Amino acid sequence: MNLSLLILVPLITAIAVLLVRNQQQVKWVSFIGASIQVIICLFLFVYYRNDVAAGNTSQMLFQQNYEWFPALHIGFHVGVDGISVAMVLLTSFVVLAGVLVSWNIEKMTKEFYFLLHLLAVGAYGFFISLDLFMLFFFLEIAVIPKYLLIGIWGSGKKEYSANKLALMLMAGSALVLVGMLGLYFTGTERTFDLLKISATHIPVNIQLICFPLLFMGFGVFSGLFPFHTWIPDGHSSAPTAGSMILAGISMKLGGYGCLRVAVYLLPEGAKEYANIIIVLSVIGILYGAFVTMMQKDLKYINAYSSVSHCGFVLLGIGMLTKTAFTGAVIQMVSHGLMTALFFAVIGMIYQRTHTRMIGEMSGLLKKLPFIITVLFIVGFCSLGLPGLSGFVAEVTVFMGSWEHPDAFHRIITILACMSIVVTAVYILRAISKVSMGPMNETFSHLKDAAWNEKLAAVILLFGIIIIGAAPFWLNDLIRPAAEIIMQKITGG
């Protein structure tokens, strides 16, 4: 399996989009490119499973290593483990769905799809990089397309939100950069290579400096409290596909970076700061949940609930147990699919009713049966109904947290559990208000989902239901990789 394909295919799609002539071609080229990418990712998944089943025990599979800047020991080094495969699969699903829901975009179509695919290049590259320099390169590639997507195609106070997002994410990546340079200069040999750095012993005092820099930096991306403030503004101003990718993929860059770079490379630092991470993430979970209760705008509801849900990712990482790590990754995948679908549905509703205020909607179930049914499923997934992916993820995180026998962790876990009740309150309230009750006369002419919207919804629903019904395959995929990270922590 040639992993460079994962970067090349979206890149070629992006360039092809610029070269074709009319809107129709742009859309189809994007669709075909994204579909090819999904197929490649499915193949990757199958090959990965086969290789592991055949007894390949190396940590990273399908590695490719070329020199890039040999003078500085920077390499083009890619490879995947179970966590990367899961994230890459998530990315391909969300991008395809994002292409489909933006089918009706009229303003500067070419530029829109170009930026969308450029963003995808950043995400794919980030998840498969094994060289910190490359990882950082792709992390930053993904920032500016978001800025332009929000600023040009967004709604509401879009310029403000776009600026806030770009600056906060860049500040996060600036911290990552400093931490990364710290790691570069610690070893006997100067290297950015993830595997080489993980093999060297980094002095504890350096770990204590670099860990907070890296974790905070990536934390900004994944909405670590108190650096979450870009999330509600950014998500609510972005165009539908923008919000989907922002919440579905972009926030996961942060979680993945925290786990893969900060915790894996700096285990001593992780142990030292674990309690702070746990406290901050629980604040994020509860704060996000309570703030969501007060929201009246559907996009804000989902944006704040994303803060709450991504808190579970960070909580799982902060718990430093194998099960909790696995749960964190499952939560990333699950939340990615779920929130992307949620935003897609909100976009579909908004396109028809031209409002996102739940107060102004009622009885839409009669007119939009497909869209509202999807809204129900995704809402249930969000509040953790068994049988859907959200439940699996949260339970795994809680189980991992419960492995700590001391009072502090127990209390924290109970507090985090309580947020589920709050989630149920706001989700049920929003859904029931939108779907039931007397139908507003102005909505009587609305049409249900078109083929592209149905396809997008089905793709994402497929993921949510598969994970919910048969979580073991995802679990088996992630667990060995989590095991390796755990060994670093216990082995010192």
Partner 1 sequence: MKEFIILMKPELVVSIIIFILLFIKLGKPTGNDFLLNVIQVLLLINFASGFFFNHEGNLFGSMYHTDKLIAAQKSILSLGIYLISLLFADWFKKSEHLAEFFILMLSALLGMFFLISSGNFLMFFLSLELATIPVAAMANFDLDKKISSEGAMKLILISAFSSGILLFGISLIYGSTGTINFAELPAVVTGNPFQVLAFVFLFTAFAFKMSIVPFHLWTADVYEGSPMAATSFLSVISKGAVAFIFITVLYKVFQPMQEIWYNMVVLLSIITMITGNLFALRQQNIKRFLAFSSIAQVGFILVGISGNSPEAITSVVYFILIYVFSNLAAFAVAATISSKSGKENISDYKGFYKTNPFLTWIMALSLFSLAGIPPTAGFFGKLFLLTAGAAKANYFFIIIAALNLVVSLYYYLRVIRSMFMDKNEEPIEKIKMQLSTRFGMIICAAGIILVGLFSWIYDYIQSLT
For partner 1, the binding residues (CB under 8 A) are: 67-72, 74, 133, 136-138, 140-141, 143-144, 147-148, 151-152, 158-159, 162-163, 166-167, 170-171, 174-175, 177-178, 181-182, 184-185, 209, 213
Cβ closest to partner 1, residue 201 vs residue 410: 201
3-state secondary structure of 68: strand
What are the tokens at 245?
A: 């990718």
Rounded CA gap, 433 and 278, in Å? 35
Rounded CA gap, 402 and 174, in Å? 35
Cβ closest to partner 1, residue 180 vs residue 338: 180
92 contacts: CB under 8 Å, gap ≥ 6: 34, 37, 38, 40, 41
| Least distance CB 245 / partner 1 (angstroms) | 18
Cβ closest to partner 1, residue 136 vs residue 398: 136
Determine phi and psi for 57, rounding to 5 degrees.
-105, 5
Rounded CA gap, 443 and 68, in Å? 57
| Least distance CB 342 / partner 1 (angstroms) | 27
Cβ closest to partner 1, residue 168 vs residue 286: 168
| Least distance CB 152 / partner 1 (angstroms) | 6
| Least distance CB 163 / partner 1 (angstroms) | 6
Cβ closest to partner 1, residue 67 vs residue 483: 67
| Least distance CB 23 / partner 1 (angstroms) | 16
Cβ closest to partner 1, residue 76 vs residue 325: 76
Of 71, 83, 87, the closest CA to residue 6 belongs to 87
Rounded CA gap, 67 and 220, in Å? 31
CA-based end-to-end distance of the chain: 33
| Least distance CB 236 / partner 1 (angstroms) | 17
Residue listed under structure tokens 């074709």: 20
| Least distance CB 67 / partner 1 (angstroms) | 8
Determine phi and psi for 362, rounding to 5 degrees.
-165, 150
Side chain identity at residue 266, one-letter code: L
Rounded CA gap, 232 and 342, in Å? 14
Cβ closest to partner 1, residue 75 vs residue 284: 75
Cβ closest to partner 1, residue 71 vs residue 407: 71
Transcribe 357-372 into DSSP letters: BGGG---HHHH-HHHH
Of 48, 52, 20, the closest CA to residue 33 belongs to 20
| In 154-203, alpha helices (H) | 158-186, 194-199
| Least distance CB 240 / partner 1 (angstroms) | 18
Rounded CA gap, 162 and 152, in Å? 9
